[in-house]
């Protein structure tokens, strides 16, 4: 597994400086994840990237003149980046970079791990088991009931629960995790957003996001003021799959494009996927959705008593 790249210094000042440098490169100079990968492989830490000459940048195969100009000007954006970072802290939003030990290690296995994450609350711990729970945006009452109970049992088993904050099954997963036994340290969940932290959709889930941040965390790869764009859905799905050790689906139908896209991406990167079936109601999917889910590698499991099997598979 590719781990977050560690800085030579381990002080809080170094962590802050790195966040400011990556904000200058990625937020203000608009350097994307894959270009940052190239720069890191060639030049090392963000501090060194900001010092690279235009001639050295042009020596990188595929580097365009526009990119050379963006990177060369990034150092001039540092004052803006510093002011922006300090402003974020006053709003209780932290910036966690790829170089931070707290950065989710599994995200580094993606082809395009985010350079930084904006976090209100905290990130899931790297040394604990983690599962993503997802499903239909238009669930049945039975699907919601199953999801809430599933997430509650995961939390009580010490498993960190990840989900988007979209309506339906995903938001139900957060409610289930929060329903774990009072005082249980694992009764927290983590929400991956499709937008910036200040532009949460659907707006009726803003109170849920506030609640999640009290014990868990609300996480976005987009600056807090970023509004939702349709292409964010797929970007968020890659984080939902990449951050956890398995994906569990409770309800899905052929028209649930977001859930099916997530399953397809899971199959592309070889992620474990389980389809939970409640014997009281049967599979909360129709035959076509079941066929698609199995094609994407989903493993059907019948009964909540199979949760320990899922927990044991998380490594």
Q: Which of 112, 95, 113 is nearest to 104 (CA)?
A: 113
Give this prediction's pTM.
Answer: 0.92
167 and 87 within one domain:
no
pLDDT at 182: 56
pLDDT digits (tens, 9 = 90+) for 72-125: 999 999 999 999 999 999 999 999 999 999 999 999 999 999 999 999 999 999
pLDDT at 291: 86
279 and 144 within one domain:
yes
In a domain, 111, yes or no: no
The CB-side HSE value for 63 (13 A sphere, CA atoms) comes to 21
pLDDT at 184: 53
Q: Which of 96, 116, 138 is the last residue of a domain?
A: 96
Cα distances (Å, whole numbers) of residue 192 to 159, 241, 262, 271, 311: 17, 11, 13, 18, 21
- Would you say residue 238 has pLDDT above 70? yes
- Would you say residue 303 has pLDDT above 70? yes
166 and 91 within one domain:
no
**Tally of CB atoms within 10 A around 106:** 19
- Indicate the pLDDT class of residue 4, thresholds 50, 70 and 90: low
DSSP states of the chain as a string?
-PPPPPPS--SHHHHHHHHHHHIIIIIIS---HHHHHHHHHHH-SHHHHTT--HHHHHTSTT--HHHHHHHHHHGGGHHHHHHHHHHHHHTT-EEEETTSTTS-GGGGGSSS--SEEEEEE-PPPTTS-EEEEE--SS--HHHHHHHHHHHHHHHHTTPEEEEE--TTHHHHHHHHHHTSSTT-TT--EEEE-SS-TTS-SSGGGHHHHHHHHHHSEEEESS-TTPPP-TTHHHHHHHHHHHTSSEEEE----TT-HHHHHHHHHHHHHT-EEEEEEBTTTB-SS-HHHHHHHHHTT-EEEESGGGHHHHHHH--
Structure tokens at 253: 């139908």
In a domain, 120, yes or no: no
291 and 146 within one domain:
yes
**Tally of CB atoms within 10 A around 159:** 23
Q: What value does the mean pLDDT take over residues 213-233?
A: 95
Return the C-alpha torsion angle 306, 312, 313, 315, nearest 10: 150
Q: Which of 45, 273, 310 is nearest to 158 (CA)?
A: 310
pLDDT digits (tens, 9 = 90+) for 124-165: 999 999 999 999 999 999 999 999 999 999 999 999 999 999
User: What's 39's domain CATH number?
Assistant: 1.10.150
Q: Kindly provide the b/e burial profile for residues 15-29, where b requires at least 16 CB atoms within 10 angstroms of the residue's own CB.
A: bebbbbbbbbbbbbb
pLDDT at 185: 54
174 and 55 within one domain:
no
Cα distances (Å, whole numbers) of residue 304 to 28, 162, 210, 271, 308: 47, 18, 29, 21, 9
Q: Which of 71, 96, 121 is the last residue of a domain?
A: 96
pLDDT at 133: 97
pLDDT at 183: 52
- Would you say residue 8 has pLDDT above 70? no
- Would you say residue 10 has pLDDT above 90? no
In a domain, 87, yes or no: yes
Structural domain that includes position 70: 12-96
User: What's 169's domain CATH number?
Assistant: 3.40.50.450
In a domain, 124, yes or no: no
In a domain, 57, yes or no: yes
Q: Which of 96, 121, 153 is the last residue of a domain?
A: 96
- Would you say residue 246 has pLDDT above 90? yes
- Would you say residue 187 has pLDDT above 80? no
Q: Across the chain, what does the average pLDDT equal?
A: 91
Percent of the chain with pLDDT over 90: 77
In a domain, 117, yes or no: no
- Indicate the pLDDT class of residue 13, thresholds 50, 70 and 90: confident
Domain count of the fold of the chain: 2
The better pLDDT of the pair 61, 172 is held by 172
In a domain, 224, yes or no: yes
pLDDT at 281: 74
In a domain, 2, yes or no: no
The answer to whether the CB of 284 falls within 8 A of the CB of 146 is: yes
The answer to whether the CB of 33 falls within 8 A of the CB of 112 is: yes
pLDDT digits (tens, 9 = 90+) for 207-222: 999 999 999 999 999 9
Q: What value does the mean pLDDT take over residues 246-250?
A: 95
């Amino acid at each position: 597994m590719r781990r977050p790249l560690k800085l030579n210094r381990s002080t809080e000042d170094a962590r802050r400086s790195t966040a400011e440098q990556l904000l200058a490169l990625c937020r203000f100079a608009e350097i994307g994840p894959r270009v940052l990968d190239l720069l890191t492989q060639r030049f090392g830490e963000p501090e060194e990237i900001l010092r690279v000459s235009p001639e050295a940048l042009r020596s990188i195969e595929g580097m365009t003149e526009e990119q050379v100009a963006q990177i060369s000007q990034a150092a001039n954006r540092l004052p803006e980046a510093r002011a922006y970072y300090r402003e974020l802290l006053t709003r209780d939003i932290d910036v966690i970079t790829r170089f931070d030990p707290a950065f989710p290690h599994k995200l580094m296995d993606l082809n395009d791990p985010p350079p930084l994450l904006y976090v209100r609350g905290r990130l899931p711990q790297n040394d604990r088991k983690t599962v993503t729970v997802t499903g239909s945006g238009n669930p049945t009452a039975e699907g919601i009931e199953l999801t809430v109970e599933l997430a509650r049992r995961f939390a009580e088993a010490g498993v960190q629960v990840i989900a988007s904050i979209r309506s339906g099954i995903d938001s139900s997963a957060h409610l289930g995790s929060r329903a774990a036994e009072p005082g249980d340290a694992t009764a927290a969940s983590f929400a991956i957003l499709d937008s910036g932290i200040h532009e949460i959709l659907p707006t009726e889930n803003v109170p849920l996001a506030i609640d999640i941040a009290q014990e868990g965390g609300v996480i976005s790869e987009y600056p807090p003021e970023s509004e939702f764009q349709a292409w964010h859905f797929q970007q968020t799905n890659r984080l939902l799959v990449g951050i956890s050790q398995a994906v569990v689906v409770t309800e899905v139908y052929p028209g649930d494009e977001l859930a099916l896209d997530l399953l397809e991406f899971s199959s592309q990167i070889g992620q474990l996927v389980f389809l939970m079936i409640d014997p009281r109601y049967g599979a909360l999917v129709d035959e076509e959705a079941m066929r698609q889910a199995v094609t994407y590698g989903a493993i059907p499991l019948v009964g909540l008593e199979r949760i320990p099997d899922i927990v044991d598979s998380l490594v």
